[in-house]
Amino acid sequence: MVALAGRASKAVALALLVGGIWAPASSGAQGSPAGGAQPGAYSQLVWTKPVGRDTTRFEFRYGPLFAAPGHNLILVGPVTIEKPPGDGWVTRVRPDLVDASGKAPPIEQVHMHHAVMLNLSRKDTTYPSLPQRFYGFGEEKTIGQLPRPYGYPVSSSDVWAINYMLHNETSQTKEVWVQYDIDWIPASSPTGRRLRPARPAWVDVQNGKAYPVFDVNRGSGTRGKSTYPDQVTPSPYGRGPKLNEWKVDRPGTIVAAAGHVHPGGLWTDLSVLRGRRRVHVFRSSAKYFDPNGPVSWDMAMTKTPLPWRVGIRKGDVLRVSATYDTKHASWYESMGLMLLYIADDRSGPDPFKHRVKTTGKVTHGHLAAANNHGGRPTGLADPRKLANGSTVASGVGIGDFTYLPGDLSAGGAMELPPVASAGTPLRFGNFDAGGSIFHTVTACRAPCNRSTGISYPIANGRFQFDSGQLGYGPTGLSAAKNRIDWTTPASLPPGTYTYFCRVHPFMRGAFRVLPRH
């Protein structure tokens, strides 16, 4: 990771005025595949071991995956991923992201935004135009386990793949592998002959979208919380279908459920609608180990207890919502979903006739990859105490992972906050975009000069603003704004404003708005 206070200011001395915006002479990516295909990646078996009667645990790794600086694209592997041999049953999945040593890298350097395991040989349950989504994870790394006597049936001819979005928060290429442990029971074994099939059902607040995200603004909702889509007006779905609902196609029993949220997420709720009636059946809650509260990936999600069951009828509607904290910060590009497994039997109690347990348990505790919360003192100046910088009608350039002028680690005159008169927007331009490197200009609370970690900085500026991810990427497959420039709101009152890059949080800057004379 690039040290917050230790970057050389040589690029500052070479700054040029390009296209009306300040930009370093050498702006671009620092060596690596820039978010395209990963031609060297392959899937391999690492080890196997028996873990129970007729049950073998397989550990697979897929990689190496080269996450370029600013890598934030959704990719599907150019090759399929390995699975256990023959016909059988998956009863447990444990996902991870690891480096060459087999250890999980620090989350503040590189992490899995989200990954989805796909069975290309089957249609998806809730969105049939997609291949079947049978497991997914982010840095919460929920361990999925189906209760006996259920399993996910897999044929020897099934083909698996993985859709993933890596997030490299540094200025250097990172090499990682997706690791997944599968508990496997052969179909021909005595245990395998007794298992019953359960199918995956993916219920998402943005179901079917290639990049299924939404923004949560600080202060929205009520009492420091906001629920999507319930508290969003107008409806994010407009007059179209409610993407967070799925009509059950045949009767069955939900035998397992777990949710996925991003930092700031509090829980996802699953409800069953039957006619005009509605009943809440499960809440997958985020348990934060971070002492700073619900602000980072230092957390785990709860899943249903193994004895949990809910019976559903054909024509019932399954509905999911996601609740986020809005007291601490704004949360951009958030997610909210629930992965269910549904058996075709009718063993589950009818939730409209019987009370259902709606709470669950986490599948792991604090993970070492989430140790660095950040927020420690550094040698960076408090920009509120710095003298005025220059008036830059030409704007601020972003290049070589530096904001020029006004970068807090630039040193000299380029460290001073550039100034603009009240009512005059300040323009920013991303000159790293040619290397598929995204940058943002996101408000953080002043002085915003402490060490980088998974919970610092966050989007908690006194006045909220966010440029979105400046750069270019395929529409719908990335958060790219498909432009490189952005201007600050003209409504900002006089004062010093600090900001950071959500893609590379070690990048910090400041500007100052002066009273109009």
pLDDT mean over 465-475: 91
pLDDT of 17 > 50? The answer is no
Listed residues 367, 386, 401: the one ending a domain: 367
pLDDT of 341 > 90? The answer is yes
pLDDT of 270 > 90? The answer is yes
Instruction: Look up the domain containing 176 and give its range.
Output: 34-194
Min mean pLDDT across 35-39, 150-154, 277-281, 354-358 is at: 35-39
pLDDT of 21 > 50? The answer is no
DSSP-derived pairing of the beta strands 508-514 and 419-421: parallel
Q: Give the pLDDT of residue 74.
A: 72
What is the SS3 assignment for 281? strand
Residue 201 forms part of a structural domain: no
Q: Give the pLDDT of residue 7.
A: 35
Where residue 482 sits, what CATH number does that domain have? 2.60.40.420
First to last CA, the chain: 43
Which among 429, 366, 478 has a CA at the least distance from the CA of 73? 478
Q: How many folded domains does the chain comprise?
A: 3
Residue 200 forms part of a structural domain: no
User: Which letter does DSSP use for residue 411 in this model?
Assistant: -
Distance CA 355, CA 229 (A): 26
Residues 352 and 439 in one domain: no
**Residue entry with tokens 């002959």:** 193
Q: Give the pLDDT of residue 210.
A: 85
Q: Give the pLDDT of residue 393.
A: 75
Average pLDDT over the chain, rounded to an integer: 91
Residues 79 and 38 in one domain: yes
- The H-assigned helical ranges of 380-419 are none
Where residue 243 sits, what CATH number does that domain have? 2.60.120
Q: Hey, what are 428's tokens? A: 């920013």
Q: How confident is the model at residue 261 (pLDDT cuts 50, 70, 90)?
A: very high
Residues 413 and 494 in one domain: yes
Residues 124 and 82 in one domain: yes
Helix (H) or strand (E) holding 12: helix 10-13
Q: Residues of the chain with pLDDT > 90: what percent?
A: 83
Residue 208 forms part of a structural domain: no
Residue 72 forms part of a structural domain: yes
Helix (H) or strand (E) holding 57: strand 55-67
Q: What is the pLDDT of residues 84-107, one digit of tens each?
A: 999 999 999 999 999 999 999 999
Helix (H) or strand (E) holding 190: helix 190-194
Residue 203 forms part of a structural domain: no
Listed residues 308, 336, 367: the one ending a domain: 367
By the 10 Å C-beta count (0-12 exposed, 13-18 middle, 19+ buried), 90 is classed as: buried
Q: Residues of the chain with pLDDT > 70: what percent?
A: 91
Distance CA 23, CA 113 (A): 29
**Phi and psi at residue 318, to the nearest 5°:** -95, 130
CB count, 10 Å around CB of 451? Answer: 19
Min mean pLDDT across 10-14, 155-159, 422-426 is at: 10-14
Residues 97 and 164 in one domain: yes
Residue 206 forms part of a structural domain: no
Q: How far is CA 338 from CA 203, 326, 344, in A?
A: 5, 21, 19
Residue 205 forms part of a structural domain: no
Residues 336 and 394 in one domain: no
Min mean pLDDT across 76-85, 155-164, 279-288, 333-342 is at: 76-85
DSSP-derived pairing of the beta strands 144-145 and 88-98: antiparallel
Residues 246 and 304 in one domain: yes
Q: Give the pLDDT of residue 480.
A: 87
Residues 233 and 356 in one domain: yes
Q: What is the largest CA-CA distance in the chain?
A: 85
Listed residues 137, 164, 194: the one ending a domain: 194
Helix (H) or strand (E) holding 227: strand 225-228
Residues 363 and 383 in one domain: no
Q: Give the pLDDT of residue 390.
A: 92
Q: What is the pLDDT of residues 138-170, one digit of tens each?
A: 999 999 999 999 999 999 999 999 989 889 999
Residues 99 and 237 in one domain: no
pLDDT of 486 > 90? The answer is yes
Q: Give the pLDDT of residue 350.
A: 98
Residues 386 and 483 in one domain: yes
Q: Give the pLDDT of residue 75.
A: 72
pLDDT of 25 > 80? The answer is no
Residues 97 and 51 in one domain: yes
Residue 226 forms part of a structural domain: yes
pLDDT mean over 51-79: 85
